[in-house]
Amino acid sequence: MSTIKEVAEQAGVSQATVSRVMNGEVRVAEPTRLRVEAAVAALGYHPNAFARSLASNRSHGVGLIISHLGGPFMGRLMLTLEDVLRRHDKSLLVASGRSDPEREREAARFLLARRCDGLLVHADGMSDEELEALAAQTPLVVINRLVPALSDRCVHVDNVSGGYQATRHLIEQGHRRIACITGPLWKQDATQRLMGYRRAMAQAKLAVDTDAVFEGDSLEHSGRLAVERLATRGVDYTALVTGNDEMALGAIARLRELGRSVPEEVSMVGYDDEAYARYVSPGLTTVHAPLEEMAAAAAQRLLALAYDRPWQGELRFTPWLVERGTVAPPAS
Amino acid sequence: MSTIKEVAEQAGVSQATVSRVMNGEVRVAEPTRLRVEAAVAALGYHPNAFARSLASNRSHGVGLIISHLGGPFMGRLMLTLEDVLRRHDKSLLVASGRSDPEREREAARFLLARRCDGLLVHADGMSDEELEALAAQTPLVVINRLVPALSDRCVHVDNVSGGYQATRHLIEQGHRRIACITGPLWKQDATQRLMGYRRAMAQAKLAVDTDAVFEGDSLEHSGRLAVERLATRGVDYTALVTGNDEMALGAIARLRELGRSVPEEVSMVGYDDEAYARYVSPGLTTVHAPLEEMAAAAAQRLLALAYDRPWQGELRFTPWLVERGTVAPPAS
DNA sequence: TATTTTTATGAAAGCGCTTTCATTATTAGG
DNA sequence: CCTAATAATGAAAGCGCTTTCATAAAAATA
């Protein structure tokens, strides 16, 4: 591994000049630059990242805190994040919170100790206040969540709209008795989706019986459970709006076991448009968010914050409904 | 941010002693250690990772090259990798190859330039030779692939066995005419699974018509296409062994559209046991590999290679069949 | 041509650690 | 009690860059 010193000697210039050429910022006379570049090529020189970081106090690494790495679209999210960052020659350090607030905090400490230049945070465990405190320490962008005090650095999706669209679609198909299965209501997105459901119902002058709303835990089992509870509670419905695809699938499976067909007898709308939503049959009608675009926006925003890159763009995204086969007009 | 110098002054010792205490390796007299620790606590001192790396020439970061981040179980894989590494205070840098050999190579260069202490490689684009060359430059562990020359650093799964088990299961249920849909045959795992299929067929003295093997591209569409091609070719079968769950689902969907029910008329075995395999109905019978254990093994192996951590363990894993609802005896 | 600006480059001082080597204080061996 | 080991600590030399400041050369201005 050759060093800057060797390059300097080979090119007959000082280390400072080599440094300048390598960083391409300050102006260097053309012939000099050429000589340096030749030397660099000849020696196969690559700057030592450690030394560079120590001297400049920048790691050129960005930390990513993921609430739960095993989650459904973390892959897609990271794919885009990594892509954008690498194009700017930044690397991505990943730390998982494993769905535990304490571990999310620890992940943040870990990444901070590694002296990341900035943090991308996809966390639902930490409180708004904690995130604000973090943001005060380092450039930070929040993904998929809106922290009011940090609204200029939160890439988020309009979940109210998503819930609304899902419900609205059902109403337009003629449904009147629509039940709802939500995710854990301590999570912002679950509450918002529910809010969208409520809004659509209210707008159509449809009453929402509290019994018609079931709070699940986002897992398939919840969907099955919801179907049973709804029956126990004596709720009569022709359609179901769910907080995510997994619960929708659970509900469908249970409904079928009970001899009720989907969509003939019960219509169903999922949320998230996970990979398998298109594979199941009938295809699951669900709500889709532009995850890749959101990831790109988050990466760009962070680059702007951490490296003064130019930036302009939208941080708020609107999801849309993807119609497949689980919604039909109610049996009349 | 306080420095080692301040800690040294505060504790009334030299920087060398503070360094020794921080790294807890060499022996330091108890009272001295206590004073240093007190100073560290008082100042809230955290060693500067850059300086540490520069002086010791170690980054305490491990690079992960992922052929395709969006892939089905990358999340689960990374979850475990990150977990094990972080427990050893190593961070995980991720670079994606986006399923392109050239980008995989570039990812390797990128990570190498970042001076990672080692590389975890999940790549199907690079050749064995390239991986060997990489392994000569840095501690390296290959995930989910067997490179003969690097067999002591390849965590892999016995795909032949997987293909064999899938086929064997069908044979035991009474099937005789079993067709096969493979993944792209330039990929090692696809060839091996096919080999397992062949072996089981041969062992049961069942002939394998070349027409009965269809090479797909691992996507859902391939499954649908396979069903059609098989029909065009006039292949008559009562069961289908597939190279992955996605193609299995595609095949099922197409089969149903053509009025053939699964599993009553055609039995189906998938491969990978993706998250949704249990959600679809009927649940997909498929082959499962112990991904988490493999990831843990890979991380441990790398720690051993890169940091001389003790190590012993198995690198070869055997998958198993998960029986759900897509296999039934053939209609007699 | 003399003087002021501007531009290109180099010298050298860090950045905050680790690590070698020398030194001093202890303990053991005789 | 004296010498040889042994243990604990410090001084100081890097690690390979970036960056400030000074200087020399070139261009612009008078």
What is the DSSP secondary-structure string of B68-115? -TTSTTHHHHHHHHHHHHHHTT-EEEEEE-TT-HHHHHHHHHHHHHTT
Give residues 197 to 226 of B whose Cβ lies within 8 Å of A.
Answer: 220
Whether A327 is covered by a domain: the verdict is no
Mean pLDDT, residues B320-332: 93
Q: Which of A66, A76, A96, A111 is most worth mutating to test chain B (most B CB atoms within 10 A of its CB)?
A: A96
Q: In whole numbers, what is the pLDDT of chain B averaged over residues? A: 94
* pLDDT at position A293: 96
Which two three-digit tokens encode residue A54?
A: 């120590």
Whether B245 is covered by a domain: the verdict is yes
Q: Is the CB of B109 inside 8 Å of chain A's CB atoms?
A: no
Q: Is the CB of A195 inside 8 Å of chain B's CB atoms?
A: no
Which two three-digit tokens encode residue A309?
A: 């890159």
pLDDT band at A316 (very low <50, low <70, confident <90, very high): very high
Give residues 33 to 92 of B whose Cβ lies within 8 Å of A.
Answer: 46, 48-51, 53-54, 57, 59, 61, 68-72, 74-76, 78-79, 82-83, 86, 91-92
Chain A residue with Cα closest to B87: A110
* pLDDT at position A308: 83
Q: Does the beta-carbon distance from B110 to A92 stay under 8 Å?
A: no
Q: Is B6 exposed, middle or buried (0-12, 13-18, 19+ CB in 10 A)?
A: middle
Dihedral (C-alpha) A286, A290, A291, A295: value to the nearest 10 degrees? -170
Residue A332 has pLDDT above 80, yes or no: no
Whether B277 is covered by a domain: the verdict is yes
Tens of pLDDT, residues A103-147: 999 999 999 999 999 999 999 899 999 999 999 999 999 999 999
Q: Residue B93 in contact with residue A93, Cβ under 8 Å? A: yes
- The H-or-E segment that residue A131 falls in is helix A128-137
Residues B281 and B314 occupy one common structural domain: no
Total length of chain A: 332
Mean pLDDT, residues A183-194: 94
* pLDDT at position A281: 84
Q: Kindly provide the b/e burial profile for residues B268-286, where b requires at least 16 CB atoms within 10 angstroms of the residue's own CB.
A: bbbbbbbbbbbbbbebbbb
Residues A34 and A147 occupy one common structural domain: no
Asked whether the CA dihedral A41, A43, A45, A51 is positive or negative, the reply is negative
Distance (Å, whole) CA A315 – CA B331? 56
Tens of pLDDT, residues B123-182: 989 999 999 999 999 999 999 999 999 999 999 999 999 999 999 999 999 999 999 999
Residue A170 has pLDDT above 90, yes or no: yes
Residue A68's CATH number: 3.40.50.2300
CA dist list (Å): A326 to A170, A284, B162: 11, 5, 34
Chain A residue with Cα closest to B76: A70
Distance (Å, whole) CA B249 – CA B270? 8
Whether B301 is covered by a domain: the verdict is yes
When CB atoms are compared, the residue of A79, A246, A252 closest to B69 is A79
Question: A101 - beta bridge partners?
Answer: none
Closest CA relative to residue A81, chosen from A111, A125, A120 = A120
Contacts of B281 in chain A (CB under 8 A): 252-253, 256
Q: Bigger pLDDT: B166 or B307?
A: B166
Residue A149 has pLDDT above 90, yes or no: yes
pLDDT band at B319 (very low <50, low <70, confident <90, very high): very high
Task: Provide the positions of strand C that have an atom within 7 A of a protein CB.
Answer: 7-20
Distance (Å, whole) CA A130 – CA A136? 10
Mean pLDDT, residues B191-218: 96
Domain that holds residue B73: 61-157+291-318
End-to-end CA distance of chain A: 77
Of B56, B76, B93, the residue that ends a domain is: B56
What share of chain B in percent tops pLDDT 90? 86
As for how many domains chain A has, the answer is 3
Residue A13's CATH number: 1.10.260.40
- Residue B4's nearest nucleotide, by CA–C1', is C16
* pLDDT at position A1: 82
Distance C6 C1' – A29 CA (angstroms): 14
Q: Is the CB of A275 inside 8 Å of chain B's CB atoms?
A: yes
Residues A142 and A70 occupy one common structural domain: yes
* Phi, psi torsion values for B199, nearest 5 degrees: -60, -45
Footprint of strand C on the protein (CB under 7 A): A 12-17, 20, 26-29, 31-33, 51, 54-55; B 1, 3-5, 15-16, 18-20, 22-23, 45, 47-48, 50-52, 54-56
Whether B237 is covered by a domain: the verdict is yes
Question: B120 - beta bridge partners?
Answer: B64, B141
Which residues have a Cβ under 8 Å from the Cβ of B250 and sit 6 or more positions away?
A: A279, B219, B220, B221, B222, B223, B224, B225, B226
Residue A136 half-sphere exposure toward CB, CA atoms < 13 A: 7
Mean pLDDT, residues A51-80: 91
* pLDDT at position B180: 98
The DSSP symbol for A123 reads -
Residues A128 and A167 occupy one common structural domain: no
Q: In whole numbers, what is the pLDDT of chain A averaged over residues? A: 94
Distance (Å, whole) CA B70 – CA A90? 20
Mean pLDDT, residues A175-198: 96
* pLDDT at position B25: 73
Residue B24 has pLDDT above 90, yes or no: no
A307-314, long-range: CB < 8 A, 24+ apart: A307/A88, A307/A90, A307/A117, A309/A88
Whether B308 is covered by a domain: the verdict is yes
* pLDDT at position B200: 97
Residues B150 and B297 occupy one common structural domain: yes
Q: Is B114 exposed, middle or buried (0-12, 13-18, 19+ CB in 10 A)?
A: buried
* pLDDT at position A124: 87
Whether A323 is covered by a domain: the verdict is no
Tens of pLDDT, residues B270-306: 999 998 898 888 999 999 999 999 999 999 999 999 9
Residues A177 and A28 occupy one common structural domain: no
Residues A195 and A105 occupy one common structural domain: no
Residues A299 and A309 occupy one common structural domain: yes
* pLDDT at position B72: 75
- Give the least confident one: A145-159, B62-76, B174-188: B62-76
Q: Which of A22, A46, A54, A219 is most worth mutating to test chain B (most B CB atoms within 10 A of its CB)?
A: A54
Q: Is the CB of A280 inside 8 Å of chain B's CB atoms?
A: yes
Distance D23 C1' – A16 CA (angstroms): 15
Chain B residue with Cα closest to A219: B279
Residues A190 and A305 occupy one common structural domain: no
Tens of pLDDT, residues A231-252: 999 999 999 999 999 999 999 9
Residue A132 half-sphere exposure toward CB, CA atoms < 13 A: 9
Tens of pLDDT, residues A209-230: 999 999 999 999 999 999 999 9
Residues A143 and A164 occupy one common structural domain: no
* pLDDT at position A72: 75
Residues A152 and A296 occupy one common structural domain: yes
Residues A273 and A180 occupy one common structural domain: yes
**Amino acid (one-letter) located at A206:** L
pLDDT band at A70 (very low <50, low <70, confident <90, very high): confident
Dihedral (C-alpha) B49, B51, B52, B58: value to the nearest 10 degrees? 90
Whether A330 is covered by a domain: the verdict is no
